[in-house]
Chains A and B, each alone.
Chain A
């Protein structure tokens, strides 16, 4: 479904390019819950961003359903992010001036056509799914950190994606709230959603069906 083949990525540094990924290859099958773990600077977030089409590799390729992401037009990549892929970031990144429900609907607000009733219903279902239907009209400022992250997960779910990429979604949360978020992701995965998550918490990684350990830009271990 989603494969990376010999992916190389460097970031420009003062004197020379600093390699971040050194020929990473992996394959993610539908329905998997893949956790990418490793120390800071091991390249796990960069790998996630390349897999989710937010970054382009310097060398190697990423294929989704057989198609090379680099060969896609920008419009196709936009469409991919709007339909098949979804992102959950470490910080919730909700728009502070929209209510929880409106934030969930954000992916549908890119056109002049008003959001359909079906999509509004879908947004409420997603909020209900993360246990926040009763707080749909609240602004992010009136929600706790865990609730905001759950709204961000609802926003990721509203487009009915095939894969959710989560970059340390529990990183800014306390232990209980983090566990609650992980339980939610596990449940969603159990319902068929593919989850690719970056974390540095071994306890959370243990909840995944597959763990990829990275070190210095390479895969050290893939279970």
Chain B
């Protein structure tokens, strides 16, 4: 038995009111927890979905006016002059930046123009492992999606126009390549291109260790895209490093909007819950002036009375913090299923649990502050009227 006995027993005596208060506050905490989980999941889900749309940073040699474009890079009259970058130093510089851990894919490209049955067509040398990370929407309409050395992957439109099927032969700069697969339509510039292994194409063109541009994917909610871009520019002097601003901004805005909305709703709910806790303790103080006067007459100090009344509010808050977080955590599973957030699932983080627990304790203490101060100000002489 100690000072906690009095508020806890009082809460138990008024069980119905206590349960009601805990239920209301728990709903608030549960909403906050569910919204936190939801905002995390929405962020991750958006990241996952948006990542499928490709890279968001382009590293290319500094160039003037070019007319033909692919993948966000202007190729110009590719048969005449395309400036290129050294593959080894460029990739080393990219993967050596401070935020290297935020890079999800680094996909170098080597572009070449060739003719198949007298029709000009672009052949892009890619690192298929990296390429498929940023082009998860690629699928093989026929044949293989990852061609080996000496093989090609044909875009849907290029395959149709050039009548290419798996097994067909294509001559690129005097080197024969076999079509290993045909891509399904993507609705992008990829449809009109042929894709070969980066190093095989470099060898075929006699331009080993050269790349024309590099696509970088740095997709994660809260990624410092601007900083990554700056770091890349600093690491690669003489290149153009462009963040595909609109895409990045819209991604970040969506995630930010969800987070801010969750924060605002949580704030309103918690504020309401705090006001209710405060009112509950105020009501308790008014009902128990007699009791407070008695305790003062028994030698309780003002600070003991303050502690006693605060503990009542804090106890309500802590109970609500536990029940609310459990309800919010499990409720978020159902919520995510309802919102069809794909594979996203709530993750139990002990640190987050502790942080919410501490925050609710603090809020309860703050909410109990005015009534507890009012209780502490009751003088024994005031209570004598009632005693």
Residues of A participating in the B interface, judged by any CB pair closer than 8 Å: 49, 54-56, 74-75, 78-83, 87, 89, 91, 93, 95-98, 102, 105-115, 155, 159
B304 pairs with A111, CB closer than 8 A: yes
B381 pairs with A49, CB closer than 8 A: yes
A87 pairs with B298, CB closer than 8 A: yes
Interface string of B343-387 (1 = CB under 8 A from A): 000000000000000000000000000000000000011001001
B6 pairs with A109, CB closer than 8 A: yes
B2 pairs with A115, CB closer than 8 A: yes
A93, B380: Cα distance in complex, Å: 14
Does B301 touch A at the CB level, under 8 Å?
yes
B301 pairs with A54, CB closer than 8 A: no
> B119 CB to closest chain A CB, in angstroms?
87
B301 pairs with A78, CB closer than 8 A: yes
Q: Known interface pairs A54-B384, A93-B387, A102-B5. Does A107 touch B301 (Cβ–Cβ under 8 Å)? A: no
A98 pairs with B9, CB closer than 8 A: yes
Does B295 touch A at the CB level, under 8 Å?
yes
A83 pairs with B381, CB closer than 8 A: no
A109 pairs with B5, CB closer than 8 A: yes
A56, B379: Cα distance in complex, Å: 11
A87 pairs with B3, CB closer than 8 A: no
Q: Tell me which of A74, A95, A112, A115 contacts B302 (CB under 8 A).
A: A74
Does B163 touch A at the CB level, under 8 Å?
no
**Can you report 28 A-B residue pairs in the complex whose CB atoms are below 8 A from each other?**
A49-B384, A54-B297, A54-B380, A80-B299, A81-B297, A81-B299, A82-B298, A82-B300, A91-B387, A93-B294, A93-B387, A97-B9, A97-B12, A98-B5, A102-B1, A102-B5, A102-B9, A107-B298, A108-B1, A109-B1, A109-B5, A110-B295, A111-B2, A111-B3, A114-B1, A114-B2, A115-B1, A159-B299
Contacts of B10 in A (CB 8 A): 97
For A82, the closest partner residue in chain B by CB is B299
Interface string of B1-43 (1 = CB under 8 A from A): 1111110011011000000000000000000000000000000
A114, B13: Cα distance in complex, Å: 21
> B262 CB to closest chain A CB, in angstroms?
37
A91, B301: Cα distance in complex, Å: 23
Does B291 touch A at the CB level, under 8 Å?
yes
Contacts of A54 in B (CB 8 A): 297, 380-381, 384
B2 pairs with A109, CB closer than 8 A: yes
B290 pairs with A93, CB closer than 8 A: yes
Residues of B participating in the A interface, judged by any CB pair closer than 8 Å: 1-6, 9-10, 12-13, 290-291, 294-295, 297-302, 304, 380-381, 384, 387
> B275 CB to closest chain A CB, in angstroms?
26
B13 pairs with A96, CB closer than 8 A: yes
Q: Which of A79, A83, A106 has the most CB of B within 10 A?
A: A106
A87, B294: Cα distance in complex, Å: 9
A54, B9: Cα distance in complex, Å: 27
Contacts of B294 in A (CB 8 A): 89, 93, 95
A112, B4: Cα distance in complex, Å: 7
A contact face: mostly helix, strand, loop, or mixed? loop
Contacts of B291 in A (CB 8 A): 93, 95
> B13 CB to closest chain A CB, in angstroms?
4
A115, B294: Cα distance in complex, Å: 19
B2 pairs with A79, CB closer than 8 A: no
A105 pairs with B300, CB closer than 8 A: no
Q: Tell me which of A49, A91, A110 contacts B299 (CB under 8 A).
A: A110
Q: Which of A74, A80, A97 has the most CB of B within 10 A?
A: A97
Contacts of A111 in B (CB 8 A): 2-3, 304
A52, B115: Cα distance in complex, Å: 110
For B8, the closest partner residue in chain A by CB is A97
A115, B6: Cα distance in complex, Å: 13
A167, B384: Cα distance in complex, Å: 11
Contacts of A113 in B (CB 8 A): 2
For B1, the closest partner residue in chain A by CB is A115
For B308, the closest partner residue in chain A by CB is A110
A82, B294: Cα distance in complex, Å: 12
A105 pairs with B387, CB closer than 8 A: no
Contacts of A115 in B (CB 8 A): 1-2
For A55, the closest partner residue in chain B by CB is B381
Contacts of A109 in B (CB 8 A): 1-3, 5-6
Q: Tell me which of A56, A75, A87, A91 contacts B297 (CB under 8 A).
A: A87
Contacts of B290 in A (CB 8 A): 93
For A89, the closest partner residue in chain B by CB is B387
Contacts of A97 in B (CB 8 A): 9-10, 12-13
Contacts of B302 in A (CB 8 A): 74
B3 pairs with A112, CB closer than 8 A: yes
A33, B40: Cα distance in complex, Å: 73
A55, B4: Cα distance in complex, Å: 29
For A158, the closest partner residue in chain B by CB is B298
A83, B298: Cα distance in complex, Å: 9
Contacts of A81 in B (CB 8 A): 297-299, 380
> A73 CB to closest chain B CB, in angstroms?
11
For A91, the closest partner residue in chain B by CB is B387
> A222 CB to closest chain B CB, in angstroms?
24
